[in-house]
Chains A and B, each alone.
Chain A
Amino acid sequence: MAGQTLYDKLWSQHLVKERDDGTALIYIDRHLLHEVTSPQAFEGLRLARRKPWRLDANLATPDHNVPTTLKERAAGNAGILDQVSLIQVQTLDDNCEAYGIEEFRINDARQGIVHVVGPEQGATLPGMTVVCGDSHTATHGAFAALAHGIGTSEVEHVLATQCLLAQKMKNLRVRVEGKLGTGITAKDIVLAVIGRIGTAGGTGYAIEFAGSAIRELSMEGRMTICNMAIEAGARVGLVGVDDTTIDYLRERPYAPTAAQWDAAVAAWRDLVSDDDARFDKEVVIDAAEIAPQVTWGTSPEMVAPVFGEVPDPAGIADDSVKGGVIRALEYMGLAPRQKITDIRLDKVFIGSCTNSRIEDLREAAKVAKGNKVAKSIQLAMVVPGSGLVKRQAEAEGLDRIFLEAGFEWREPGCSMCLAMNADKLGAGEHCASTSNRNFEGRQGYGGRTHLVSPAMAAAAAIAGHFVDIRGFSQQPQQPQQPQEA
């Protein structure tokens, strides 16, 4: 018998019941909640007079709607000026209190983006099933946890039954082999993967990311990659357990201790695909060939290396692809064959569940250090993923580096990734963003998003346009040259 993939193992360890029609009931170990996708689920529970099945499996924090300026945050919920947002955050507080669910409220130091908070607390552990009413739940797969986003009906289902109705996915392995070039990060890897397989390339699959370049990554890097599995259409992204995983989790607040830690580690060691496991599909990418990536369009698959150019629709044969490219160029205000490095930027956003962890901020700070944000940039903001990331960054002096360079240093939350709070792009503005989606209007009505790594975003802030991080000196740049030439 062929061996099992990591996904197969996680699936069978959580299988409560399989129906003849192929649907299965799987048990959920961890359920993360935030304010946007949970109110209707709690309302459903109340109407049906049901109670949560198991309280200690749930953990909540507000993230999408919270303001990120210190002034507003100092006032707690009362500082949320948007009354509709305020009601949503307040509703989460009320529901968690009514049902006895643990919540890190707006000004708790542990509050933050739910996908930063879970791993940081050790609330995400290898071998778990982790769900949340948010598609970027794929992030937690970096810990060899079976993690994926669910809709609000499913949030209610998990609260009420601790289970989910699911169908087994197929297995796709993406192997990234070899050594990454200097300055190339996890974000570039995942954008390159999406560029290769497309935004629907992973539909119906769980993607396991493997290969020597993935092994070399920190947990932060692996989270960045799994986070964007959904941008390739896959609900699930996975990385097998190794020492990096285990070292990250040691002594996290929710992680097991003492004898239970040893037993857990012994069990976690098996959470890798067997050598003879069979995958339905495999994609191999040479790490050395990955250049810094920049998206130019309105779908994450519309991506190019920084030294490349925007495509020319005239050269595209498939009519529907061609139509998509024409529409994207029009929306983005770009000309065919325009060089990526010629795209002028208005704003820069460093943050989101993709790239707001301490390592991301360190990489951006390295580039920002001693430099100044270009005058043509109206706003460059750094939004840490959680209160604890913020605290750590401040202990390392990263906040000073950003502030001295002219970046704003904000309070934790989802912020301009999806602009549900006050942080947004104006119509027509171009933004270098470390987030995950460049959909039309995602960062604000008419806003134009370019997805990049934190180092690339920081370099773009300084130059005023995209630059190849590999040629960008880590030394302070010359005093600002007028870029308007």
Chain B
Amino acid sequence: MQSLTQHQGLVAPLDRANVDTDLIIPKQFLKSIKRTGFGPNLFDVLRYLDEGYPGQDVSQRPLNPDFVLNQSRYQGTSILLTRRNFGCGSSREHAPWALEDFGFRVVIAPSFADIFYNNAFKNGILLVPLDEDTVERLFQEVEASEGYRLDVDLEAQTVTTPSGEVLSFDVDGFRKHCLLNGLDDIGLTLQDEEAIREFEQKHRQAHPWLFRDNQREAS
């Protein structure tokens, strides 16, 4: 996983609540067996005027000029500013894969859906929750000034605006540690291999029916 300590980037506003995972990456692109290459189809329905399908040359597709990511002032964006309950719906990790592949490293919103929250951090994307009023104010600032950039500091848990205002945000300690260091969860968990084996042994004794190999022995 890519680490993230500090990030400065251009902000793009997606003014919409309850952005669901079907909207982030539609199902026809979930047929890939790879983790990469989803960026061109991020927000596919909003971005293009036609229906997309896997394996297409997207450069030939008609762009929706009204969609924020198609506007010239937001080219090169890496911070998405959006509304509450971002990422609701399915557990598809293709959603953060698409955001990451497009170039987003940070998403700012009043709230995020639970499964998406987990998936994003596992792919090096920092989710920054800020209250509704602050998000509203940031929307106004972004729209008012072209080239609006934010400075995100994960270590300090702050977002700094161009005017120098410093906003603090919450992030849980474990996810922060992993993201700062680009750590692989599985490697970390396997450091506890002995504890897992010990638990498993006791669990098997207390609930033998949860282990099918026990049932075969019993029957």
Which residues on A are within 8 Å of B, measured CB to CB? 14, 16-17, 19, 21-23, 25, 27, 29, 36-37, 39-40, 43, 48, 50, 53-54, 56, 64-65, 82, 84-85, 87-88, 91, 125, 127-128, 133-135, 137, 148-154, 156-157, 160-163, 165, 167, 199-200, 203-204, 230, 233-235, 254-261, 263-264, 267, 299, 320-321, 323-324, 327, 418-420, 427, 437, 439-442, 445-446
B195 and A135 within 8 A (CB): no
Additional A-B contact list (11), CB under 8 Å, known A17-B199, A21-B173 = A36-B31, A37-B91, A87-B31, A134-B90, A149-B115, A156-B186, A161-B190, A324-B16, A327-B16, A440-B45, A446-B51
B55 to chain A, nearest CB (A): 7
B212:A151 contact, CB within 8 angstroms? no
Number of interface residues, chain B, beta carbon within 8 A:
64
Q: Is the CB of A135 within 8 A of B85?
A: no
Q: A43-B33, A149-B91 are in contact. Are A235 and B115 (CB under 8 A)?
A: yes
Partner among B55, B200, B209 whose Cβ is within 8 Å of the Cβ of A263: B209
Residues of B within 8 A of A151 (CB): 91-93, 96, 115, 118-119, 122
Q: Which residues of A contact B15 (CB under 8 A)?
A: 323
Which residue of chain A has the shortest Cβ distance to B84 in the bound complex?
A200
Residues of chain B contacted by A37 (CB below 8 angstroms)? 91-93
Kindly report which residue of chain B lies nearest to residue A257, judged by CB atoms: B219
Residues of B within 8 A of A36 (CB): 30-31, 92
Across the interface, do A40 and B35 meet the contact criterion of CB distance under 8 Å? yes
Q: Using an 8 Å CB-CB cutoff, how does the interface string of B118-134 with A read, 1 for contact, 0 for none?
A: 11001100000000000
| Smallest beta-carbon distance B122→chain A, Å | 4
Q: Is the CB of A128 within 8 A of B91?
A: no
Query: What's the Cα separation between A264 and B83 when bound, in Å?
Result: 46
Judge if B72 is at the interface, Cβ distance under 8 Å.
no
Contact partners of B190 in chain A: CB under 8 A: 160-161
* B17: contacting residue among A91, A320, A437, CB under 8 A: A320
Tell whether B89 is near chain A: CB-to-CB under 8 Å: yes
**In the complex, how many angstroms separate the beta carbon of B214 from the nearest chain A beta carbon?**
8
Given the complex of chains A and B, what is the CA–CA distance between A278 and B16 in angstroms?
A: 36
Q: CA–CA, A22 to B35, complex, Å?
A: 30
Residues of B with Cβ closer than 8 Å to A?
A: 15-18, 20, 22-23, 26-28, 30-35, 45, 51, 54-55, 83-85, 88-93, 96, 111, 113-115, 118-119, 122-123, 172-174, 177, 185-186, 189-190, 192-193, 195-196, 199-200, 203, 207-215, 218-219
Q: From B28, which residue of chain A is reached at the shortest CB distance?
A: A420
A427 CB contacts on chain B under 8 angstroms: 51
Residues of A within 8 A of B123 (CB): 153
Q: Output the nearest chain A residue to B212 by Cβ-Cβ distance.
A: A56
7 contacts between A and B (CB under 8 A): A48-B186, A56-B213, A65-B31, A88-B33, A150-B118, A256-B215, A327-B16
Q: Which partner residue on chain A sits nearest B55 by CB separation?
A: A84
- Is B113 in contact with A203, judged by CB distance below 8 angstroms? yes
Complex formed: what's the CA distance from A162 to B93 in Å? 20
- Known A127-B207, A151-B119; contact A135-B174, beta-carbon cutoff 8 A: no
A134 to chain B, nearest CB (A): 6
**What is the CB-to-nearest-CB distance from B131 to chain A, in angstroms, rounded to a whole number?**
14
Interface contact B203-A27, CB-CB below 8 Å: yes
A420 to B33, CA, bound (A): 14
Query: Of B18, B31, B84, B172, which is within 8 A of A22 by CB?
Result: B172
Nearest Cβ distance between residue A103 and chain B, in whole angstroms? 15
Task: Name which residue of chain A comes closest to B95, CB basis.
Answer: A151
- CB of B184, distance to nearest CB on chain A (Å): 8
Q: Chain B residues near A324: list those with CB within 8 A.
A: 16-18
A388 CB to closest chain B CB, in angstroms? 19
The answer to whether A25 touches B189, judged by C-beta atoms less than 8 angstroms apart, is yes
Contacts of A157 in B (CB 8 A): 185-186, 189
Q: Nearest residue in B to A255 (C-beta to C-beta)?
A: B209
B212–A199 contact, CB under 8 A?
A: no
Chain A residue at minimal CB-CB distance from B195: A17
Q: A161 with B186: in contact, given A56-B212, A320-B83 (CB under 8 Å)? A: yes
Instruction: From the candidates A21, A48, A91, name the one contacting B174 in the complex (CB within 8 A).
Output: A21
Which of these, A43, A133, A327, A439, contacts B91 with CB under 8 Å?
A133
* Closest-CB distance, B113 to chain A (whole angstroms): 6
Are B45 and A441 within 8 A (Cβ)?
A: yes
